[in-house]
Amino acid sequence: MPETALPLAIPVLPAISLQHLTKEFPVPFRRRRLTAVKDLSLVVLPGQVYGLLGPNGSGKSTTMKMVLGLVPPTSGIVEVFGRPADCRESRADIGFLPEGPYFHRWLTGEETLRFYGRLGGLRGAPLRERARELLRRVGLEDAAHRRLGGYSKGMLQRIGLAQALMNDPRLLVLDEPTAGVDPAGSRAIKDLILDCKARGITVLLCSHLLAQVQEVCDRIGILDRGELVREGPVGELLGVTGRVELTLEGAPPNLAAEFAEWLQRLHPAARLVAERTATRGLEEYYLEVTGEGTPRGDQAGSTHTPSGESSVAAKRTSTRPGGGTGNSRPT
């Protein structure tokens, strides 16, 4: 009987590929150089939302500028969709929202988008239709003919996100997109990022709002002093080995005690380490009270649950060499 040939796996072309990337800056009046990024290697696949984290001065902004082709690396390779980051074709695939963007405040929202669309080569009816479509997507259709001088901080960030999407990029680079934005504006921007992901757009996100990063990102990389110290899927990095958390709705008050007795009989090595009343997130509660947004259901990666539910955490103890058991304190 002839053997059936297995189909060959087609390799996925990374959206971003950094290979042994190093960037050094000369220090004025000194015979030494400052290393901003040191031997950085990582890959961002198409359609992913990737969070680049780290303290101030860790090399996040320098890495973003090298991805954008604005700063050349001292050594290493930077590729965007298989091409060098500093070539024209790569830049045409990228939309960028810097931290604290500056816009001409005498232009209206629609005029601003049409201005950036013309810079990207759009003209005529396609330009007008694209500008109006993005104003609807970012929730600024009613403010389309208002001057940017009258926009709030959140509205300016949303118009900035719209201009970054004006030329239909494959990669979106966002530097602190929710800095200085109120909770309602932050929620709107977060929803826009998730909408971009649903449309297949790759997002490279830099933010100090870790709760938001946890909700929207598929993978994260943590930089410290220019080096990548942790990298991987959010769920794997944040997961606690040997601990399972259950969320029950409509549970009677004595259920936890009954569950602990049943668990002890079923698995003597496991024990109940925590019982707590479930709470919702502060952002969800704020939006409900102010009426500034409609809270969505449970977010991926969030540890908060709606009020009225009961959460029970169970941990399997592990035996240490020598016969002892390794138990952590109750959470």
Using DSSP, state whether 245 is helix, strand or coil.
strand
Other CB atoms within a 10 A radius of the CB of residue 82 amount to 11
How far apart are alpha carbons 21 and 13 in whole angstroms?
19
pLDDT in the model for residue 293: 58
Other CB atoms within a 10 A radius of the CB of residue 191 amount to 15
CA dihedral 182, 186, 188, 189 (to 10 degrees): 130
Residue 221 pLDDT > 70: yes
How far apart are alpha carbons 189 and 108 in whole angstroms?
20
pLDDT in the model for residue 324: 43
Q: Quote the distance between the C-alpha of residue 115 and its chain's center.
A: 28
Reported as a single tens digit per residue, the pLDDT across 87-138 is: 988 888 999 999 888 899 999 999 999 999 999 888 999 999 999 999 999 8
Reported as a single tens digit per residue, the pLDDT across 231-248 is: 989 888 877 666 667 776
How far apart are alpha carbons 167 and 173 in whole angstroms?
14
pLDDT band at 327 (very low <50, low <70, confident <90, very high): very low
Q: What domains are there in the chain, each with its CATH number?
A: 16-237 (3.40.50.300), 243-326 (no CATH)
Q: Which parts of 54-127 are beta strand (E)?
A: 75-80, 83-84, 94-97
* Type of residue found at 320: R
How far apart are alpha carbons 165 and 131 in whole angstroms?
10
The pTM of the full predicted model, rounded to 2 decimals, is 0.74
The per-residue pLDDT of the chain, averaged, comes to: 80
Cβ atoms of 23 and 73 within 8 Å: the answer is: yes
pLDDT in the model for residue 83: 93
Residue 36 pLDDT > 60: yes
